[in-house]
Amino acid sequence: LQTDGTGKGVVNILAADRLLQSPQLYATFLLWLMSELFERLPEVGDLDKPKLVFFFDEAHLLFNDAPKELVDKVTQVVRLIRSKGVGVFFVTQNPIDIPDVVLGQMGNRVQHALRAFTPRDQKAVKAAAETFRQKPGLDIASVVTELGVGEALVSFLDEKGIPSMVERAFVIPPHSQIGPIAPDERRTIITSSPLFGHYEKQLDRESAFEVLKGRTEAAPGGGAAAGPAEKQADFEARLKTQRDASEAKAAADAARRAPKSQNPMGGLVEAAAKSAVRAASSSLGRQIVRGILGSFLGGGGSSRRSRY
């Protein structure tokens, strides 16, 4: 939150062209960013003008295939963050690209021309006309299809928070350069920024994987990771245990389906088969648990496996 030497605000542009290719990641980033601001900024109430304003371009990408829980959370944050002096604008081609629950939180509206060439376009024109506060003598549904370059329908909140009647207006063209600047100009702007020297350094924080790996190696009997030959032997042992368990289970099922024998030895055979199944299953379970824990803990050697 900064201003220049004359007290005017500063425009910061985040180049999110690659981020836009992952809409759900983009939506999650948006939610995180606004949540951080909501938690960190103090309550300021209803300011004459916000101290920070976000313009999210291609906003429809935020809500394409987004889960309901994410949309609900974005709606909640957008509704509450105004009390922190933060304004949010969603920029999109079509008003129907924004969910109604989010669109309902947008008090200030600027609508450029819409062309009704398809049934979806006609639906968008109708939606745009219905979201404005009507002005007597102005047919919004017709006007929105007749707007030219630089024209827009506008409606903003007044000093009491009431949406003003929609007006047909001209938008002042930008008084800046249109198009990319030269590399030398870009470098001059970057080096003259008060933030220069802060974001150029990459910070590689210690990850959770590195922390867990360090704890495992420091633990008694941590040992080195198992080699390819040991992993292959462990896999073959688990496979053999599983095969033995399957054969024992098949024998038990066959004994159970066989006719009851008058020979008292039949009961002993069936009991022995069940005991074998339980033993094999227990052994298989221990092998699987050892394999899973070994994978989580970095595939330790024989000394680690003996502890489990």
**Span 159-164, average pLDDT:** 81
- Say what percent of the chain tops pLDDT 90: 0
Q: Which amino acid appears at position 286 of this protein? A: R
Q: How does 62-92 read in b/e, with b if 16+ C-beta sit within 10 Å? A: bbeebeeebbebbbbbbeebbebbbbbebeb
Dist. CA 163–CA 157, nearest whole Å: 4
For the full predicted model, state whether its pTM sits above 0.85. Answer: no
Q: Average pLDDT of the chain?
A: 75
Q: How far apart are CA 241 and CA 253, in angstroms?
A: 18
Q: Rounded to 5 degrees, what are φ and ψ at 30? A: -60, -45
- pLDDT tens sequence across 92-149: 877 777 877 777 777 788 888 888 788 888 888 888 888 788 888 888 888 888 888 8
- If you average pLDDT over residues 159-174, what whole number do you get? 84
